[in-house]
Structure 1
Amino acid sequence: MNLPLARLLTFAALTLGSAAQAQLFSTPQQTTGQAILRGFTPDGPATLRRGATTLTLDLAGGAVVGLLTETDNVPDLARGIAAGWGMKEADLAGLTNNLAAPQFLESAREGYQDFSDDNATDFLVIKVTGEGAQTRYRAYQAVQVWPASAFPATKNVSGAATAPNTLSIFSDFQCPYCKQLWDTALQTWERQPTLYRTAHYQFPLDFHKNAYGAAEASECAGAQGKFWPYADTLFAQFSTWTRLDTADAPGKFSAYAGTADLNTAAFKTCLGQHTFKASVEAQIKAGVALGVRGTPTVFLNGVKLLDYSDAAELALVRAITTATPSAQSVIDARLKTLR
């Protein structure tokens, strides 16, 4: 039953890349002003109409966080979805054909929700009701805002507990791009502890031979309240321990425990007994469920960032997630009407 939707989303992903989330983050004027919506007329500040078709924008913090299409025909259903994804007129025929596939329409009658692509930055819901001339189509695209409960508990946090923004970082100590984040953006965030609270999650990649051991070692340091200084040491010594054979890495990790002012004996016991193996596995599992595919992956207030170094993107995500009402509450309220 899911094959037609998979075809639909694959087409969109190959055509658009990251355009879907970028379009949803646009201003109402940018969204409604797209050439693909020519012929639709405004019916209020956040609504467009053409015949029996209505497009409704959901807004938070002045930005579009969701787009609802309600119509009695597949071509306009496709056009509304295309607008949410920032598609061009030339791409519309392929999307329309996918939506018109009988198998897809059958599955959509049951209601379907899935991510628009592997990045899991936005999602699509489609619901078909009625028969014959009474058939009606509803599609909703929205930014994916993960609730705090989607992230595993961790003591590896910095910043004030009262900070209005939470950065959740899935990282691999053997990843050079994670070291780059640690040396640049993280330093900026940590200088603003009343604005950002930062949480670190383990996501060691299989092809980094010593990454898993480093993750366990950092958790052992965290058990003694020294996760951050120990992590600083791992990244500072990146070019040393990452080159070691897997059998030799634990000895180096234990040596670093001394430089981080840890109880070395307790650290060695923790590391040797793999005390935090289950915790690391749980963090990896949570990351996969959140759409983490590589490192570093950074979420701000539950929204996956496309470019953590982009100040404008951070400001926009802060705006939509801390607005009243917030993006999450606006989207959740809309989803209730689609069930």
Structure 2
Amino acid sequence: MPRCRLFAAAVFLTVGSAHAQLWQTPQATAAQAILNGYAAQGNVLTRGDSTVTLDVAGNAVVGVYVQAASLGDLARGIGAGWGLVEADLPKLQANLAAPRVLDAARQGFVDVTSDDMTDVVALKATTTGTKTVYAAYVAAKVWPDNTFPVTKNVTGRATASDTLRIFSDFQCPYCRQMWQVAAQGWEAAPDTYRAYHYQFPLTRHRNALAAAEASECASAQGKFWPYADALFAAYDTWTPLEPKAVSPLLTTYAKTTGLDTAAFTACVTAHTFRSSIDAQIRAGIAVGVQATPTVYLNGVKLDDYSDADELARVHAATTATPDAATLIDARLKLFR
């Protein structure tokens, strides 16, 4: 899914594509070549002293818990969660053997795997006498509601089955594409989707911040959604202009949207919502927003918001009993 990029991700510990195996069925995860020789009983796979347990919600693997007596077996179990192949394992084992990683494991730690923050990894090493037992957990990252900022820009019913949190930039062409296609479908299904809009104007888009401020001033008059529609409808008109030429157009869109233009102009001139927008940007960065649009479904960062299969998998896992967040949080407590 194309997006307007903020920065590139750096990988922690991983040697392949983390997140590749999470969200797959337990059957697909267990069938990986690196788990050949493991005996399966339900969602638990064993080989010698090594155990790999699949945490499953809604028929999707949301976490892989590994217990092993060697770093080699530990790497193999972690690799099963990350969708690695045999050739990746020596490098992963070397990474796990690094002194800084082993020192952290002796204390027990939990961290995100990369700065896109879609996955978490936990490690723990427990030594009794001369024997060391290793444990690891790789899992999807499910962000709780309270990690997202407060916004009045919400559509859909409070009783909707799914919550969408959208970080967007009015000057981003991919955000316009989302707004004109996917977002219209979400808005048309208020019983299914409750959608929250957050401002994330990229600094390289010279008119994005002004548009974000204008939309918040429209929101103050209860007109965020129609004003946002107007901004995206006129995208080709205002986005190429110099910033000084955009201000009158923002006021024109306010008038055509039915706003009190005097109050709107006063709000924009005073930068009334600048601090709120800055807070939304900081909150977005804290949950791994690197590009626009970025969409979260029930706290899970989507790889492709237009992929119906991905939405269905995440919906099933986050609304199951027990749900993905409950399973993951219970497992992570073992490492803290």
Q: TM-score range by the shorter chain?
A: over 0.9
Aligned to 2:6: none
Moved more, 289-298 or 189-198: 189-198
Aligned 8 A contact 1:8 1:99 in 2: no
Moved more, 298-307 or 101-110: 101-110
Aligned to 1:183: 180
Aligned to 1:228: 225
Q: Secondary structure at the match of 2:167?
A: strand
User: Whose RCO is larger (CA < 8 A, sep 6+)?
Assistant: 2
* 1:335, distance to aligned residue in structure 2 (A): 1.2
Q: How many angstroms apart in 1 are the aligned matches of 2:240 and 2:59?
A: 49
2:12 aligned to which of 9, 13, 27? 9
Aligned to 1:67: 64
Aligned to 1:96: 93
Aligned to 2:154: 157
Kindly provide the amino acid, as one letter, of the partner of residue 130 in structure 2. A
Does residue 318 (structure 1) correspond to residue 311 (structure 2)? The answer is no
* 1:131, distance to aligned residue in structure 2 (A): 5.3
- When the two chains are superposed, the root-mean-square deviation of aligned CA atoms in Å is 1.5
Q: How many angstroms apart in 1 are the aligned matches of 2:30 and 2:130?
A: 28
Q: How many angstroms apart in 2 are the aligned matches of 1:240 and 1:311?
A: 32
Aligned to 1:3: none
Q: How many angstroms apart in 1 are the aligned matches of 2:245 and 2:170?
A: 16
* 1:24, distance to aligned residue in structure 2 (A): 1.1
- Distance change in 2, residues 1:8/1:249 (3 Å): closer
- Distance change in 2, residues 1:138/1:7 (3 Å): farther
Aligned 8 A contact 1:40 1:48 in 2: yes
Aligned to 1:31: 29
Q: How many angstroms apart in 2 are the aligned matches of 1:254 and 1:129?
A: 64
Identity %: 56
Aligned to 1:248: 245
* 1:9, distance to aligned residue in structure 2 (A): 2.3
Unaligned runs of 5+ in 1: 1-5
Unaligned runs of 5+ in 2: 1-8
Deviation >6 Å, runs of 4+: none
Aligned 8 A contact 2:10 2:114 in 1: no
* 1:10, distance to aligned residue in structure 2 (A): 5.5
2:269 aligned to which of 257, 262, 272? 272
TM-score w.r.t. length of structure 2: 0.95
- Distance change in 2, residues 1:332/1:10 (3 Å): closer
Aligned to 1:41: 39
Q: How many angstroms apart in 2 are the aligned matches of 1:27 and 1:91?
A: 22
Aligned 8 A contact 1:126 1:139 in 2: yes
Q: How many angstroms apart in 1 are the aligned matches of 2:279 and 2:107?
A: 32
Q: Secondary structure at the match of 1:225?
A: coil
Aligned to 1:136: 133
The count of corresponding residues between Structure 1 and Structure 2 is: 328
Does residue 50 (structure 1) correspond to residue 53 (structure 2)? The answer is no
TM-score w.r.t. length of structure 1: 0.94
Aligned to 1:113: 110
* 1:336, distance to aligned residue in structure 2 (A): 1.5
Moved more, 215-224 or 242-251: 242-251
